Structure 1
Amino acid sequence: MNGAQALIRTLADSGVEVCFANPGTSEMHFVAALDSVPEMRGVLALFEGVVTGAADGYARMAERPAATLLHLGPGLVNGLANLHNARRAHTPVVNVIGDHAQHHKAVDAPLESDIDAVTGWTGGWNRTCVDPARIGADAAEAVAAASQGRIANLVLPADVSWGDGGVAANPVPPIARSTVEDSTLAKIAEVVRSGESAVLLLGGAATRERGLRAASRIAAATGVKVFAETFPARIERGAGLPAVDRLGYLAEQVQWQLTDVRHLVLAGAKAPVSFFAYPGKASELTPDGCATHVLAEQADDIVDALERLADLVAEGVEPVLQAASRPALPSGPLTPQNWTEVIGALLPEGAIVSDEANTSGLMIPMTTAGGPRHDVLTLTGGAIGQGLPVAVGAAVARPDRPVICLQADGSAMYTISALWTMARENLNVTTVILNNRAYAILRMELTRVGAEAAGPKAKALLDLAAPDLDFARIAEGMGVPATRATTAEELAEQFAAALAEPGPHLIDAIVPSLI
């Protein structure tokens, strides 16, 4: 058994069954070794940002790591933006990063790079394999580290990959999440019972059903307000679940939501801060005079803490659940509001929504709140180009559920080749491109940062209409059936048809810009 075979054997035995890959010469022994481990599925993507984003989407839905295969340091760099999003989502990902053979590094070949400096940027677990006999143990430890909600980077020199004497290893048991102490729960119980205005902010596992139900019980019994963090990794929504609003994106929205709040209780979330600095505006958004209390952090058993707190302060109290409701199908030319009503009216049961609609999607939470139960995967780290790759990974993880990708036009172009992988794998993904021919959010930010003197040259840098992007033709060129919608009736007809047919589809929805 060579090193690559031992590595893949260990990954599969540790529960990693999918490897999203964009390999090169240094990774060819890993590629060849895939045939020796039938449990491992290889999924090819044409750009490393799709590879890493797909691994993120897979793990969010499968609740276990996927692997990536990246070509040397430059391949890792190409995937960093979506690894940033995965890091912010606390998603478990195992990156296998090829490297030159150890004896070859000294000659400074053209693709030589400082991989260690780049892996350190991901803030996770890092190791370089140096011996085929150790490669299985390294892989098992990488999976265990990733399973804590971290990025695990395993650098694989080519000579270790092809070297004989590879030894597979048994899985390493993951570290259990910490149990929040009773004394902490008692202190938080005093806070929420105090009668003073309080907000319970949810993140991580707290935005799944059990956490949402416990939080709703606490709110019903004590009057605290409940919000989810602005961009949760995965939030369950729909009829029969508690409805929880997310904190706004704009600092002004958050400040309004937290007006006069005296206590902020964090359950798997961080205290809110402004996404960017603005002249004369605060970076920290917790109100003056508001005390912050940590119920549970990411390494803790957040859901257990919420349920125990609910038993303390809300014994016998039931959660308040969202009633079933749908908007009526609209008519007329598409607008930033009525396209969301089409989605809300036709949203299928069990949908997984990869949401990178950005400014065009502001109404989506409202129009889908009472729809059938569904999951929403959001842009956790703010690095655009996530929506299409995350949809790929979610569809690989859950082929039994329909995946809907709501994708802004500008950010779609970052990782548009994800459509090719959808076609190659025949993934059940319906993509709706919100085509407003602009970086609309940057038009807004141009004013918000105080850049008052912006003229034609500045505005041209935020315009996507010269030339127009024809997403239907782009999709068809990558093997994805596509249509174009300019009215609500056309979008409804095309969306329903796409949902009724297996495999990928794309709808190029022409909408006006809000800004």
Structure 2
Amino acid sequence: MNGARSLLSGLVGAGVDVCFMNPGTSEMHFVQALDAVPDMRGVLALFEGVATGAADGYARITGRPAAVLLHLGPGLANGTANLHNARRAHSPVLCVVGAHATDHVRHDAPLQSDIDAIARGASGWVHTSGTTRALASDAMRAVEATGRGGGQVATLVLPADVSWSDGGRVAPPRPFPVPSPVSIEALDSVAASVGEGTVLLLGGDALSERGLRAASRISRATGTRLVAERFAARMESGAGVPTVDRLAYLAEQVRPQLAGATTLVLAGAPSPVAFFAYPGVESDLVPDGCAVLELADAAQDVVGALEALAGRLASDVDPDLAPLSPVDPEPGPLSVRSLGAAIAVTLPENAIVVDESITSGGGLKALTTAPRHSLLTLTGGAIGQGLPVATGAAVAAPDRPVVTVEADGSALYTIQALWTQAREQLDVTTVVVNNAAYAILRGELARTGAGGADERAQRMLDLTDPTTDFTAVSRGLGVPAERATTSEELVAALRKAHAEPGPHLIEAIVPPVA
């Protein structure tokens, strides 16, 4: 068999049976091999950033890698922003990048580039396959590499001649890495330190139901405060799950959250730092005099560690679980607050919520008393993640409704994801929060000390003239759409979308906030 067929057969044998792709000439043998390996599902995206973000969303829901196929260096470059987000999410993603045939490289054709250099910006493992015979084993090493360090991007560069040549063979899968146990010494150190002055900062798998329940027991027994990392790859939330506030985005809001802490315990989360540097503001957000202890990092069994700690400190204590009590939104024109309430009160059971609402996300705190759901957020800060991640999540869990809360500015980065949702008939309801502005940058202009903004500068922060008609764009990409300007209209539109199969878009008009 040729290299491409051996590659696909080996991936399927290793449990990687979905490939999001935006292929080109160098990848045609890979595409043709889909007919010979029907167990590999190919999902076409119209932009590389959609394909990479979808692979991230798929991995967050399944816990195992999807493949993503890209065309040469420029295709990889187009997809790198969402590979950066996947890296920050510790998502296992296998990125296959087609390359020029080996003998063609010396001619320096227009698309020739240093693929390895581009890949290393977001990949923890990069390898160029040199022979057809070695390709399948290279692929197994790549799959295994996606599971290292708690999850990472692994990039396999596939020259066209390695793909088209005969001599390929299927290689056996390699063992997928599992989290390493936390040492007894780390457990002893944390157990001796927790109490009224302790903040337990939760991230990664600590935000699973098991992790949250164990953390809640510890908190109730010891008075330890719980905080979740701001940008969670996946966080269980809603009725029946302990409620944990996320770390604030702005440094000046984080300081009151952590005020009075004498010990900060990191459970699958990094130590908190400001998202950006600001004049006269400390970047390290750990309070002065506060000791920092690490219970577990991303590669370790943080859930097992929390459960062991709860066994020591709270053996007879139950977790504090959120009630099912969403509140109807106030009637009238939409606001950030009523938008969140409308989403909460209409949310289907066991939904997946993808949040890239940026400045309009404050109202989503209402989701803590909504029906049980999984929350996926913007992990790496590279906007344009929401729509692709929702697409991949819907492919991963076709039995679960997906709701995307998407800011208008970031939606325009990867709006092509709607076409893939329409083609695959994915159960995704997208709420585009349209305030016709880069509202976050209006606030940042003041916070950075850059000074005021007159007409020319304000034009760079404004999304009017023209204002995007998201309903028209959505319909043009095959997704039915409507606009909502009041709470009543949004609730009705959400209920209609949840009752019908396939994707839907609702353009929610809200006033700009900073």
The normalised TM-score by structure 2 is 0.99
Higher alpha-carbon deviation: 323-332 or 221-230? 323-332
Equivalent position amino acid for 2:166 in 1: D
Match of 2:78 in 1: 78
Query: SS of the counterpart of 2:403?
Result: strand
Instruction: Give the match for residue 174 of structure 1.
Output: 176
Task: Write the mapping of 1:11-410 to structure 2, written as runs, cut at 5 A.
Answer: 11-148=11-148, 149-192=151-194, 195-365=195-365, 367-410=366-409
SS state at 1:331 partner? coil
Equivalent position of 1:432 in the other structure: 431
Q: Give the drift of 1:307.
A: 0.5
- Return the alpha-carbon distance in structure 2 between the equivalents of residues 363 and 478 of structure 1: 29
Question: Post-superposition shift, 1:253?
Answer: 1.1
Whole-Å separation in 1 of the counterparts to 2:329 and 2:354: 22
What does the per-residue CA deviation read over 1:81-133, in whole Å, with 9 as the maximum and x for residues that have no partner? 00000000000000000000010001000000011111111141111001111
CA contact (8 A) 2:22 2:71 kept: yes
Which has the larger displacement, 180-189 or 49-58? Answer: 180-189
Within 2, Cα distance between the matches of 1:175 and 1:369? 33
CA contact (8 A) 2:357 2:433 kept: yes
Distance 2:368 2:305 in 1: 26
CA–CA separation in structure 2 for the residues paired with 1:381 and 1:395: 21
Deviates more, 1:176-185 or 1:207-216: 176-185
- Please give the alpha-carbon distance, in whole angstroms, between the structure 2 residues aligned to 1:371 and 1:485: 21
SS of residue matched to 1:363: helix
CA distance in 1, matches of 2:178, 2:147: 10
Conserved in 1, the CA contact under 8 Å of 2:435 and 2:510?
yes
Q: What letter matches 2:490 in structure 1?
A: L
Deviation sequence 1:59-84 (CA, Å, 0-9, x none): 10111100000000000000000000
The corresponding residue for 2:513 is 514
Distance 2:94 2:164 in 1: 20
Task: Indicate if the aligned counterparts of 1:21 and 1:70 stay in contact, CA closer than 8 A.
Answer: yes
2:123–2:155: 8 Å Cα contact kept in structure 1?
no
Letter aligned with residue 331 of structure 2: S
For residues 319-349 of structure 1, the C-alpha deviation after alignment (integer angstroms, 9 at most, x for no partner) is 1111111112431111111111111111110
Bigger drift between 325-334 and 46-55 goes to 325-334
| C-alpha distance in 1 between matches for 2:479 and 2:497 | 11
Distance, in Å, in 2 between the alignment partners of 1:189 and 1:219 is 12
- In the TM superposition, residue 175 of structure 1 has moved relative to its aligned partner by 2.3
Using the TM superposition, give the Cα deviation of residue 209 of structure 1 relative to its aligned residue in structure 2, in angstroms: 0.3
Letter in 2 for 1:226: L
CA offsets, 1:112-166, max 9 Å, x none? 0011111111141111001111111011111111123010000000000001001
Contact kept? 1:5, 1:33, Cα under 8 Å: yes
Does the 8 Å contact 1:405/1:432 carry over to 2?
Answer: yes
What SS is found at the alignment partner of 1:309? helix
Residues in 1 aligned to 2:396 and 2:372: alpha-carbon distance in whole angstroms: 18
Residues 377-408 of structure 1, C-alpha deviations (whole Å, 9 max, x = no match): 00000100000000100000000010001000
How many residues align? The count is 512
Q: Distance in 1 between matches of 2:310 and 2:116?
A: 45
C-alpha separation between the residues in 1 aligned to 2:204 and 2:336? 30
Between 445-454 and 264-273, report the one with greater CA deviation.
445-454
1:453-473 Cα distance to aligned partner (Å, 9 max, x none): 421111110100110100000
Q: Describe the superposition over 1:181-224 as per-residue Cα deviations: whole angstroms up to 9, x where unpaired.
A: 112101110001xx451100111111000000000011011100
Ranges in structure 1 where 5+ consecutive residues have no aligned partner: none
- Residue deviations 1:13-43 (CA, integer Å, cap 9, x gap): 1111100000000000000011111110000
Q: Is the 8 A contact 2:196 2:223 kept in 1?
A: no
Q: What displacement does 1:445 show?
A: 0.3
Aligned to 1:454: 453
Matched position secondary structure for 1:383:
coil
Question: Relative to structure 2, which stretch is displaced further, 176-185 or 153-162?
Answer: 176-185
Distance 1:370 1:405 in 2: 18
- Amino acid of the residue matched to residue 326 of structure 2? R
In 2, distance between residues paired with 1:432 and 1:137? Answer: 43
Q: Secondary structure of 2:369's partner? A: coil
- Counterpart in the other structure of 2:7: 7
Contact persistence 2:179–2:300 (CA under 8 A): yes
The 8 Å contact of residues 339 and 363 in structure 2, kept in 1 or not, is answered as: no
Distance 2:495 2:427 in 1: 14
Note the alpha carbon deviations across 1:266-303, whole angstroms, 9 max, x for none: 01100000000000000110011000000001111110
The separation in 1 between residues aligned to 2:301 and 2:31, in whole angstroms, is 38
1: CA distance, partners of 2:103 / 2:250: 52
Instruction: Pick which of 291-300 and 172-181 moved more.
Output: 172-181
| Residue identity matched to 2:190 | I
Give the AA of the match of 1:49. G
Q: Using the alignment, how far apart are the partners of 2:73 and 2:330 within structure 1?
A: 50
Residues 408-428 of structure 1 deviation map (CA, whole Å, 9 limit, x = unaligned): 000000000000000010000
Equivalent residues of 2:147, 2:178 under 8 A apart: no
SS of residue paired to 1:430: strand
Q: What amino acid maps onto 1:174 in structure 2?
A: F
Is the CA contact (8 Å cut-off) linking 1:196 and 1:263 kept in structure 2? no
4+ aligned runs moved over 4 Å, structure 1: none
Q: Contact 2:329–2:339 at 8 Å: present in 1 too?
A: no
Q: 1:157 to 1:215 in 2, by over 3 A?
A: same
Q: Is the 8 A contact 1:336 1:513 kept in 2?
A: no
**Displacement of 1:8:** 0.6
Q: Secondary structure at the match of 1:43?
A: strand
Unaligned runs of 5+ in 2: none
Q: Does the aligned pair in 1 maintain the 2:203–2:229 contact within 8 Å? A: yes
The one-letter code of the counterpart of 1:393 is G
The residue type paired with residue 282 of structure 1 is E
